Amino acid sequence: MKSVVYVVVAVAAAAAGFAIYRFGIAPQATHEATEPAVLAAEPVASETKVPTELPDFTLEDRDGNKRSIRSWQGKSMIVNFWATWCAPCRREIPLLREIQKTNEAAGFQVVGVAVDFRDDVLKYADEIGIDYPILMGEQDGLDAVTSFGMGSIGFPFTVFTDNQGRIVLTHLGELTQPESVVMLDAVKRVNSGELTPAAARTAAATQLQELKPADG
């Protein structure tokens, strides 16, 4: 009997946590700033780091079928965590569509992971014509984000992997076109064997720093 009670309490706590995020914090994050919308998360140990490989998680696709993020074997993944209420997320979707269109032949695959209510996601995706795959979830969507070792949850959050599923780069905040060029090039150099993921991160960091406007 105790085990049943514990399960009920755990489920209720998870649901309450997502409700607080969705109805309490999320509406406050619809501003038009370029900074990511940051949400509170469970504390993460200080030694936690971004994993070296894409974590395996399973969420529902548009058809309501469960699908693993690792379904796209052999693809260089661009996994974009977003929500319909997040203004920076909405603004970068046209860029993600363009990235998919122009890099599909090179083996890249954009997948949007919507941490939001299913009906809201489907309605918005149809309205703006998202044409790359979408996975979606509420509390399980939040769990997917935290599997990347983040101490807080910010949207949009984008992960770039090579064609072996190794994480090459991560990006918190709205992705710009110049930034995407640097990151895609880094992944391509890893895929070709020119650079290791670590070396690609170092090279990309230098190039991304050069894109930032000088102070003053």
What's the total number of domains in the chain? 1
Q: Which amino acid is residue 6, in one-letter code?
A: Y
Distant-in-sequence contacts of 118-127, Cβ < 8 A, 24+ apart? 118/60, 120/84, 121/84, 122/62, 124/84, 125/62
The answer to the question of residue 39 being in a domain is yes
Q: What is the CATH number of the domain that holds 73?
A: 3.40.30.10
Pairing mode, if any, of strands 58-60 and 153-155?
Answer: unpaired
Q: Quick one: pLDDT at residue 15? A: 40
**Domain span at residue 13?**
2-211
Tens digit of each residue's pLDDT (9 = 90 or more) over 43-102: 333 344 789 999 999 999 999 999 999 999 999 999 999 999 999 999 999 999 999 999
Contacts of 74 by beta carbon, 8 Å cutoff, 6+ apart:
107, 163
Tens digit of each residue's pLDDT (9 = 90 or more) over 20-48: 344 343 444 433 344 556 443 333 333 44
Q: What is the mean pLDDT of the chain?
A: 82
Tens digit of each residue's pLDDT (9 = 90 or more) over 100-151: 999 999 999 999 999 999 999 999 999 999 999 999 999 999 999 989 886 5
pTM for this model (two decimals) = 0.80
Task: Report the chain's C-alpha Rg in angstroms.
Answer: 18
What percentage of the chain reaches a pLDDT higher than 70? 75
The answer to the question of residue 216 being in a domain is no
Say if residue 18's pLDDT is above 50. no
Q: Quick one: pLDDT at residue 49? A: 78
* Ramachandran angles phi, psi of 172, nearest 5°: -105, 125
Q: How far is CA 188 from CA 21, 155, 161, 162, in A?
A: 37, 25, 10, 8
The arithmetic mean of pLDDT across residues 183-203, rounded, is 97
The answer to the question of residue 80 being in a domain is yes
Structure token pair of residue 3: 């085990």
